[in-house]
Amino acid sequence: MRSLLFLAGLVCLSGPVFGQAGKFPPDSLVNVKVIPKNTPVMQVVGMMRNFAGALGVRCPFCHVGQEGQPLSSFDFAKDDKRTKLTARQMMRMVEEINRRLDTLPEHAQMTSHVEVTCQTCHRGVSRPMPLEQLIMETAQGSGVDSATRDYRALRERYYGRAAYDFGEPTLDVAAFRLARAGKYDESFAILKLNEEQFPGSSNAATFRGNINLMKGDTTAAIAAFREAVQRDSTNGEAQGRLRALTGGARGGPTRP
Ligand code: HEC
Ligand code: HEC
């Protein structure tokens, strides 16, 4: 309980929404199974705001009620939604994690502690799937055009937040996994999308070479590794591949 209550303390509760209709906030807790029943209702509401913020959702994501309607019309005690049941399990999981953290060596003597919260994993999204997995699964399930659209839309919405990693390796990893699954067209399309985000990247050309190798297209692989070395003469991986593929002579500077 400690970590959840700690969270609730951080939230500023104010605004005209509360207490207007006389039913929200409720006078007491009805159907709580993780939160102690005697917890002040406003503290619970603060905790709930943190849940919603951490998952990037609003109250009706977990509770029975209409978006845009007054909170007094919601039935917060009902357990009808899968997401609420999942959230309850997540609350128990977070408690367990923090109990485990308390047992770390020399933990008690440390001057500061990092508590795990919903935000630690969720970072503003309800299903905290790594971006490379999301792109790979979308490319396989709905096609690479969908995956490309999704990537652009997510970048538009979340760039600069902790939700997704828009750094260069993400799409490289997605492309590599697609190639491993034999989806070469999809893989090259995702690599192209990455090169659009990171023009002139030597690393991207290396990936293109490696995926051509997996595909068995040695000519294209050699061209890609040459491009990689052109872009960055210190790219050791591309140099090594070129040496192996061309017998050494034209693979770039040879080491003494
Ligand atoms: C991610 C899911 C989730 C979101 C979003 C969420 N809640 Fe909850 N809420 C829960 C869970 C789970 C419980 C039950 C906790 C327990 O069993 O101890 C709960 C319980 C409550 C209760 C106590 C109900 C009772 O039984 O008396 C209130 C009031 C409440 N939530 C209000 C809100 C409000 C207001 C919002 C929006 C700011 C909100 N919740 C957003 C999951 C959520
Ligand atoms: C250790 C990491 C972690 C923490 C901490 C965590 N979650 Fe989750 N949560 C996940 C993962 C991973 C999933 C997705 C599981 C899946 O769909 O395969 C998930 C899924 C969910 C879902 C279902 C979302 C959906 O769209 O299906 C809810 C609701 C949820 N979490 C609520 C919470 C709440 C509330 C907290 C804090 C009390 C919390 N989680 C803390 C990892 C975490």
| Residue-range domain boundaries for the chain | 2-122, 131-246
Q: Is 255 in the pocket of ligand 2 (CB under 6 A)?
A: no
Q: pLDDT per residue over 32-77, tens digit each?
A: 999 999 999 999 999 999 999 999 999 999 999 999 999 999 999 9
Question: Are 11 and 48 in contact, with CB atoms under 8 Å apart?
Answer: no
Give the SS3 label for residue 64: strand
**Helix and strand counts by DSSP (H, E) for the chain:** 11, 0
Dig out the tokens for 3 from the structure: 């970590």
Question: Are 31 and 77 in contact, with CB atoms under 8 Å apart?
Answer: yes
Question: Are 62 and 87 in contact, with CB atoms under 8 Å apart?
Answer: yes
pTM for the predicted model, two decimal places: 0.87
Question: Domain 131-246 adopts which CATH fold?
Answer: 1.25.40
pLDDT at 2: 55
Dig out the tokens for 237 from the structure: 């991986």
Q: pLDDT per residue over 93-149, tens digit each?
A: 999 999 999 999 999 999 999 999 999 999 999 999 999 999 999 999 999 999 999
Question: Are 1 and 95 in contact, with CB atoms under 8 Å apart?
Answer: yes
pLDDT at 248: 55
* Matching residue, tokens 């652009």: 152
State the amino acid at position 63 in one-letter form. Answer: H
Which residue, 44, 12, 14, is CA-closest to 28? 44
DSSP state of 14: -
Phi and psi torsions of 64, nearest 5°: -75, 115
Chain centre distance of CA 161: 10
**Which residues sit with their C-beta closer than 6 Å to ligand 1?**
26, 29-35, 44-45, 48-49, 51-52, 55, 57, 59, 61-63, 71, 76-77, 83-84, 87-88
Ligand nearest to the CA of 85: 1
